C-alpha cells in the first residue's frame, strides 16, 4: 500500500498545504488503490476520474501561486449516492432513478468543494437508504473489506467500505436510524451522526425528513471533527438547519475525560447475547473511567419501543417523500397506454421489495381510520423517548452503549425483515431524539471483525461528544494489544 494512504485526512491536508505532498499524488495513489480493491469490495456506483484529477491539479496550482487552501485541500472524499453532485448521476441505488443526473450540488457537496476536497465518486447504499446491510441495493453488492463474505452494514455501506478499504480518506453518508453508525461499527471506522439540524439536508434525497442527517465516516475522530467543521452550519436552503454557531471542533478535542459523567444502561450490557461485544464495550467504559470520567447508571425505559416507533414514523414520512418518483418528470418511465397505468407500472418495476414494503406500511399508518392508532401513537411514544433522554442527561454528559448487537454478519444471513430491523436497536433511540451520536472502534472479536461502541450526547453538544470520543480513542490506540491501527488485508 502506498505510504500516502496510511495518513489520515488531517495529516494529508497538512502535508498538501505545506507542499510535502501534492494533491495530485494523493489522488492518483487513491485511484490506483481503488482500482485494485473495487473488484473485491464494490463500494462505488460511479467514479469521476477526470474530475478528481482536475480538482487535484487545480489545488496544487493554487498552492504554488501562494493562494490560501481550504481545510480539506487535496483530501480524496466519496459521497453516498443519495447526495447530489452537479453533473453526476444520483441513483439512490434504485432502478427508478435510471438516467437521472443531478442539476445542482447538495449543500454538503458545495461546502466540501469549497474546502478543497477532491470528490472521487458516489458510493453504494441500500435503495433509498432503506436497510441495514447494503443488500437492498438494486445495482450491486458491496462487501465488507475485513471479510468479503460479510456485509458492510447499511444503509451507507459503500461509504463505510471505501474508507475501510483505503479507497477514500473521508466519506459522507446519511443516517436516519443508524445508517452511518452501524456501517462504521461493522467496518471499524468512526461514523458520526450530527445533531438534527447541524448539517444541511439540501440536496439529500429525502427518506424520513424528521430523522435524516448527513455525516462523515473517517479513520479518526479528528478527521470527523474536521469534516463536521467544514459541512456544519445554517443553510437558508434548508429550513430545518440550525443557526447555532459552529464551534472549531478540531481545536476543542481533549485528551482526558476529567469531570465528565458517562451514563451506562446496565441492562444493555448484561443482556447482550454477544458477550464479545459486551465485554469490549465494558472495557472501553472502564478506560473512560480511568481517564477521569464518572460512570453513572441511567435508565431509558421507553427506548425498548424505539424500533417500533421508528418503523412507523420513518415509513410514514417515506411514503410521502417517495410519492415524487412517478416516472413523469425524471428517471425511469415504463410505457403504458394511459398515465395511470404508466405511474403504477413505473413504481412497480422501479422500486425494490424493501422500498415497497415501507411505502405500504407508511401509507397504511397515515390512512384514514388508522392515523391516530399508528402514526399518532408513535409520535407520542417518540416524545416519551425524548423525555427519557432529557432526564438521563440531567445525570450525565454522554451515554455509552453498544452500537450493534453483533459484528458484521454474512451476506444473506438475515433474510427476514424483522431480524434486519433489529440491527439498529441501539442506534434508533438517539435518532428519534435528534441527538449527536457516533460509533467508535473499540476492538476486534475473536474472528478479527471490528466492534464499535455507541456514544451520544444532547443535541448541539457535538463538540463535547467529539472531545470525549477523541480522548478515549487516543487511549485505545495507545494499547498496542488492541491492534486498532491494523487495516484489512485485501
Catalytic positions are 80, 155, 179
* Segment holding 310, helix H or strand E: helix 306-321
Q: How far is CA 150 from CA 153, 415, 454, in A?
A: 9, 14, 21
CB 118 within 8 A of CB 12: no
Residue with cell 447482550: 272
Rounded Cα gap, residues 105 and 103, in angstroms: 7
The answer to whether the CB of 178 falls within 8 A of the CB of 429 is no
Residue with cell 427506548: 303
DSSP state of 259: T
Nearest CA to 379 among 442, 432, 343?
432
Question: Cα separation of 247 and 465, whole Å?
Answer: 13
Contacts of 356 (CB under 8 A, 6+ apart): none
Q: Rounded to an integer, what distance in angstroms lies between the CA atom of residue 30 and that of residue 323?
A: 39
Distance between CA atoms of residues 97 and 339, nearest Å: 18
Q: Are 252 and 466 in contact (CB under 8 A)?
A: yes
Angstrom distances, CA of residue 77 to CA of 9, 26, 113, 175: 9, 11, 10, 18
Give phi and psi for 442, each to the nearest 5. Answer: -125, 0
Query: What distance in Å separates the CA atoms of residue 149 and residue 127, rounded to the nearest whole number?
Result: 20
Q: Within 13 Å and on the Cβ side, how many CA atoms surround 23? A: 29
Query: What's the rounded Cα separation, in Å, for the pair 290 and 57?
Result: 47
The reply to whether omega before 155 is within 30° of 0 (cis) is: yes
Q: How many residues does the chain have?
A: 490
Pair 125, 138: CB distance under 8 Å: no
Question: What span, in angstroms and rounded, lies between the C-alpha atoms of 384 and 473?
Answer: 32
Distance CA 223, CA 169 (A): 9
Distance CA 211, CA 194 (A): 11
Cell of 160: 463505510
Amino acid at each position: 500500500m502506498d505510504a500516502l494512504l496510511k495518513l489520515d485526512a488531517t495529516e494529508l491536508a497538512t502535508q498538501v498545504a505545506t507542499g510535502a505532498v501534492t494533491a495530485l499524488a494523493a489522488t492518483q495513489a487513491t485511484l490506483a488503490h481503488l482500482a485494485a480493491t473495487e473488484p473485491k469490495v464494490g463500494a462505488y456506483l460511479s467514479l469521476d476520474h477526470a474530475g478528481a484529477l482536475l480538482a487535484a491539479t487545480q489545488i496544487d496550482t493554487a498552492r504554488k501561486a501562494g493562494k490560501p487552501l481550504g481545510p480539506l485541500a487535496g483530501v480524496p472524499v466519496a459521497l453516498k449516492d443519495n447526495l447530489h453532485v452537479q453533473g453526476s448521476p444520483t441513483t439512490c441505488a434504485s432502478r427508478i432513478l435510471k438516467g437521472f443526473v443531478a442539476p445542482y450540488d447538495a449543500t454538503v457537496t458545495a461546502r466540501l468543494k469549497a474546502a478543497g476536497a477532491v470528490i472521487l465518486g458516489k458510493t453504494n447504499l441500500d435503495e433509498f437508504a432503506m436497510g441495514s446491510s447494503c443488500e437492498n441495493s438494486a445495482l450491486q453488492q458491496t462487501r465488507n473489506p475485513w471479510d468479503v463474505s460479510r456485509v458492510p452494514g447499511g444503509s451507507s455501506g459503500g461509504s463505510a467500505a471505501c474508507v475501510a478499504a483505503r479507497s477514500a480518506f473521508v466519506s459522507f453518508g446519511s443516517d436516519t436510524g443508524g445508517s452511518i453508525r452501524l456501517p462504521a461499527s461493522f467496518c471499524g471506522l468512526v461514523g458520526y451522526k450530527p445533531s438534527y439540524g447541524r448539517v444541511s439536508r439540501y440536496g439529500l434525497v429525502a427518506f424520513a425528513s424528521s430523522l435524516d442527517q448527513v455525516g462523515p465516516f473517517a479513520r479518526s475522530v479528528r478527521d470527523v471533527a474536521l469534516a463536521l467543521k467544514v459541512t456544519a452550519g445554517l443553510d437558508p436552503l434548508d429550513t430545518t438547519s440550525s443557526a447555532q454557531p459552529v464551534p472549531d471542533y478540531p481545536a476543542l478535542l481533549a485528551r482526558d475525560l476529567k469531570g465528565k459523567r458517562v451514563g451506562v444502561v446496565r441492562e444493555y450490557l448484561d443482556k447482550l447475547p454477544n458477550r464479545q461485544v459486551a465485554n469490549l464495550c465494558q472495557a472501553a467504559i472502564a478506560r473512560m473511567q480511568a481517564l477521569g470520567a464518572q460512570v453513572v447508571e441511567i435508565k431509558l425505559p421507553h427506548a425498548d419501543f424505539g424500533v417500533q416507533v421508528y418503523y412507523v414514523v420513518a415509513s410514514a414520512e417515506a411514503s410521502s417523500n417517495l410519492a415524487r418518483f412517478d416516472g413523469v418528470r425524471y428517471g425511469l418511465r415504463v410505457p403504458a397506454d394511459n398515465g395511470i397505468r404508466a405511474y403504477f407500472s413505473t413504481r412497480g418495476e422501479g422500486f425494490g421489495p424493501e422500498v415497497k414494503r415501507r411505502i405500504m406500511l407508511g401509507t397504511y399508518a397515515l390512512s384514514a381510520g388508522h392515523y391516530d392508532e399508528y402514526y399518532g401513537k408513535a409520535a407520542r411514544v417518540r416524545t416519551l423517548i425524548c423525555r427519557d433522554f432529557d432526564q438521563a442527561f440531567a445525570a450525565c454528559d454522554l451515554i455509552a452503549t453498544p452500537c450493534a448487537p453483533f459484528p458484521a454478519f454474512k451476506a444473506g444471513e438475515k433474510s427476514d425483515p424483522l431480524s434486519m430491523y433489529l440491527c439498529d436497536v441501539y442506534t434508533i433511540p438517539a435518532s428519534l431524539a435528534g441527538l449527536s451520536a457516533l460509533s467508535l472502534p473499540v476492538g476486534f472479536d475473536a474472528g478479527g471483525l471490528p466492534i464499535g461502541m455507541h456514544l451520544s450526547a444532547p443535541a448541539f453538544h457535538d463538540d463535547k461528544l467529539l472531545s470525549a470520543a477523541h480522548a478515549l480513542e487516543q487511549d485505545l490506540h495507545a494499547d498496542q494489544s488492541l491492534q486498532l491501527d491494523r487495516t484489512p488485508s485485501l
